[in-house]
Amino acid sequence: MYVASCPHSTRTTSSVVEPQSGLPSPSQRDPLLGPDSHMDVQGYKWVRWRVWSCRLAAVLTLGFLLIVFHWRPRLGVLARCCSCPLALADILLIRDISGQQHVVEVLTEELEDGSLELLGEWEVIEWRDTVQLYKEEKTLLRYYLFEGLRYIWLDRKGSFCRVSVLNEDWTCKDLYGFQKGLSHPEQSLRRLIYGPNLIDVPVKPYMKLLFEEVLNPFYVFQFFSITLWMIDNYYLYAICILIISIISISISLYETRKQSITLHNMARLVINVTVRRNSGAEECVSSVELVPGDCLIIPQEGLLLPCDAALVAGECLVNESMLTGESVPVLKTPLPASEGKYSSETERRHTLFCGTQLIQAKGGGPGGGGAVAVVTSTGFVTAKGNLVSSILYPQPINFRFYQDAIKFLLILGFVAFIGTIYSFVILLRSNATWGELVIRSLDIVTIAVPPALPAAITTGTIYAQRRLKSQGIFCISPPRINVCGKVSIFCFDKTGTLTEEGLDVWGVMEGGPAGFSELVPEPRLLPPGPMLTGLACCHTVTLLQGQPLGDPLELKMVESTGWTLQEPEGDGKVLDAEFGDHKVLAVMRPPTQHLQAQGIPTSEAVAIVQRFPFSSALQRMSVVTVARGGHSALAFIKGSPEMVASLCRAETVPEQFSSKLHHFSSEGLRVLALAYKPLDKTTDFMTTERGEVEKDMQFLGLLMMKNLVKPESAKVINMLRLAQLRTVMVTGDNILTAVNVAKSCGMVACDEKVIFVIATPHTAQSMPTLRFSLEDRATTAAQSSTEVLTWGLYQDGFGYHLAINGKSFAALCDHFPEHLPKVLMRATVFARMTPDQKTRLVKELQKLDYRVGMCGDGANDCGALRAADVGVSLSEAEASVASPFTSKTENISCVPLLIREGRCSLVTSFGLFRYMALYSLIQFCSVLILYTVKTGVADVQFLFCDIALVTLLAIVMGKGGPSNQLHPGRPPASLLALPVLGSLFIHTCMIILGQLAALFITTSQDWYIPLNSTVFGTANLPNMEDTSVFALSGFQYIFMAVVVTKGYPHKKPLYYNVIFLCLLFILFSLMTWLVLYPGPDVCRILQLYHISDMKYKMLLVAVAALNFLICFVVEVLINMGILNCLRLLRGRRPSKKQYKRLHVLLSDSPSWPPLNQTLSPADLTVICLS
């Protein structure tokens, strides 16, 4: 797994492997599908003469070289360092998984002599790094810090590895060995290696923030522009822009520091905790000093956990809403003492995660209170640290709009270059001085490339974020709002998302070798026996201040039996004695008096002595119980019927099992199975392994629960379907139950068929197989795949849906990759999916170029929510880090709202981008036209256009809200598409023609007075040419805001944006007044030529109106697709999106899916996408 190399070789590049994090939910920096993620690292050493040369060059360039090094750190390293082996490096150049490069410094810590022997079983040679220093051998720890994580040098591996690699091989049994505690020297050494247990979000001082902000390319360009304007005597304009820039920087610094302080306070957790030392003494220490291996004593009243820890004694009731968004407390039980490798992901029901609130601890300390845990991770390696770092260092969003924005700026830069050459030639012919040549030519660059462009396009996102917050949807990643506008498929969890969270018990049916008994609607009416006892005991419900807490399903199940839960008090010895001196976790007592009064025989009280909590991956939970006096012991298991039946002895499972399960699941019932087996009462149940308990069981029966579909679900699914957005259900429930819910909420219409995809993996006895089977088995043989295509229309011609479960999905991915894309294209129901499979499904859909949305409750969906392009967690938390979006609404009605806001924001960003580009082009054309006739634009005229016209319009343009309906089409995301570039080109041509028309109309008048040809630029002001071009360009700034502002279908019509309309009316009136009746004072201030000919001035207004009319009509025609006729000339090309190409190919393949055929990996029915 690790890339090894000899540290004394000339190798300069290594892979820093990030071992599996074992967090409850993967983040952007951790692998989503496996531990194969890595970073490339190159080693460099300082070269003294190069360092001094760069310092001299920095002085000679007035610090500009340092700015370049700040923008491109890699250049700074290459200029001042030479390549060297990693083992000798002072500086590291890191390229992360997203391709971005970072420079970090290698740090060293000196370790005391003899300290390494304290590490015990650790392989000391693996990470010792010895160097000769003043002829004394000293042991140095070499490491670097990157995104909060510590990477240490491992000499034998020849690479830097995350510090967590030192404890990644710990087994569950090893963790129990740490119960005795660490000694003080050992703890100090580990603290030196692992670093402090802090999730420290740095809050930079204002001066450092100011320095970083000012060195932003945007502000450097702004500073360059202001300097240029000052030299060119544009004092008033330069001072105004400087003041605006200072205000902008101040607001930015305040907001940045405020957010840093908020995140710092949320992330930083320092409390006093109690740890056990190897002497047996307990010591109160700061949580900052905790290290992996520390034995943590948890008090009975609980605490806010400052680290990740494995529970080794007692039980804890934990609120994990900060991490998962799931508000239901979870019961954590002691880790099984097995030889298997410990992983917090697989052992999450035995792991306490950092940042979670421990509500109650019991059964692990003296007197029966408290619990004992062993620290497994600290600092940024913890679950909370990983999620905080995903906020601090988000993965770059691969969204075409943001990529095209950079390319478009380069296009404007090319336009500026052409303008610079043109102005240089004009000025040279006008006998301008060299100083004027340089200044005027560079001034063109500041006009053609608007420095405010990147800031302007975020306006729409800011307005959308505010609207979403007002409706209870919180966002921790604003750029993803625009991504919402391009979502093409939305995945939904079932329980708690599409259906109600709570379930009602529908009935119980006992089963055995003789078959199933009659359905019993109320479990409390069952006769005394294992089935009733199993229903009462097989759960993780616990008491908090006398009130039962736990999973809603289990609460309903226990309530339906009528049994009551009792937990040990004090040291619990009274209950232990009552049940044969076994360590009792809880006691379930039957409702004796009430039932005896009705003449119904009653059961005996039983004690729960061991719990194996529910696991999504295992699809089951189990408990061990003993009777009074410890006379008998029974193990009970509860879980998915398929899983429970597979763990039972075959002769105990009724023959009608499959048919009954099919019947109940088809009716939309949540079906659970129960089984049991007797155990040897002398066994030490606290050390019994789960695998030994959960095998050779005896089947007991089925528990059916009704899970109602939320009333909003069908409405929303229909809305998305009408908008041609594909919807998919991803659930851990039974496939037939999931299909029933899919039909109930409208994902599958009543006239559409469901085809089950059944794939089996490779076994010792059989080869992998793949089969497509119709839902209605009675008609399966009579139907062919050709007939399937005649069953009505769905999604452009398909009247069937595929349904697949988790096991088949895994086999399909492993053995039938050629069929996987086709199944993903047509599958609507994914059932019995584990959390990892949900994440993999999202990633596989993204490989088909889908923009994937995922909506879930945040519990078992964390990985999928974070992997999706748009993840929405239904949670009461205001801002959960389980997903980019958190909705307080308890149903999926937030999804269409989010998509509408995303589309509105994307359209607004498009409009603002085009407007800012056109504003630059209008000014660019004005300046070049006036340069041609040996004059220029006045300082105050620039100020008026930029501040009074453009800035005000740009601010309020984005205030229009989203349309009330979801339109079938999605807005475009490419700025370099033909309609965008075509419209900008045509509008620019109209702008030039409009300004030239104004100029030629002016020069053709009888009263026209030519310019003074002996002077150039603003020295010629006021003049008639500048006045006419200023008049028309002023109108162009205003009406272009109307032309590029789109309403229907993704935004509300223009008249809903009242502020924008009022501003347009005011500015149009102001501009008309400036053209028709300016007055001498205004003419003097704006340096306009006073023209008294009213007919001429009315003609200018008419030319502006005609210019607006032409541009508006052109824009309407472009929106209607008139430029698409140009595409016909090149011929129809296949879509760049893989799922669209695949859809076309599947439409032309009536033989797929091949019904009633068993396919093997050799039967390649391949549809090629190339």
Q: Which residues are catalytic?
A: 493
User: Strand 753-760 vs strand 726-730: parallel, antiparallel, or unpaired?
Assistant: unpaired
Kind plus residue range of the DSSP H or E element containing 699: strand 698-706
Asked if 908 and 1057 count as a contact pair (C-beta separation under 8 A), the reply is no
- Helices 73-80 and 48-60: crossing angle in degrees, nearest 10, is 130
Asked if 612 and 621 count as a contact pair (C-beta separation under 8 A), the reply is yes
Give me the residue label for tokens 């600092």: 379
CA distance 908 to 1143: 31
Asked if 979 and 1123 count as a contact pair (C-beta separation under 8 A), the reply is yes
684 backbone φψ class: left, alpha, beta (φ>0; ψ -120 to 50): beta
User: Strand 698-706 vs strand 504-512: parallel, antiparallel, or unpaired?
Assistant: antiparallel
**Residue 89 backbone phi and psi in degrees, to 5:** -70, 145
Asked if 884 and 476 count as a contact pair (C-beta separation under 8 A), the reply is yes
- Which pair of structure tokens corresponds to residue 662? 């099919």
Query: 3-class SS at 101?
Result: strand
Of the candidates 596, 681, 684, 671, the one whose C-alpha atom is nearest the C-alpha of residue 638 is 671
CA distance 209 to 908: 30
Quote the distance between the C-alpha of residue 394 and its chain's center: 9
Of the candidates 538, 557, 563, 562, the one whose C-alpha atom is nearest the C-alpha of residue 676 is 538
CA distance 937 to 1017: 8
Q: How many residues does the chain have?
A: 1170
Asked whether the CA dihedral 241, 243, 246, 252 is positive or negative, the reply is negative
Give me the residue label for tokens 């939309």: 668
Give me the residue label for tokens 């009724």: 654
User: Strand 351-352 vs strand 308-313: parallel, antiparallel, or unpaired?
Assistant: antiparallel
Tally: H helices and E strands in the chain: 40, 41
**Residue 1095 backbone phi and psi in degrees, to 5:** -60, -40
> Looking at this protein, which amino acid is placed at residue 271?
I
17-36 core/surface letters (b: 16 or more CB in 10 A; e: else): bbbbbbbbbbbbbbbbeeee
| Cβ atoms < 10 Å from Cβ of 129 | 18
Beta partners for residue 91, in sequence order: 44, 105
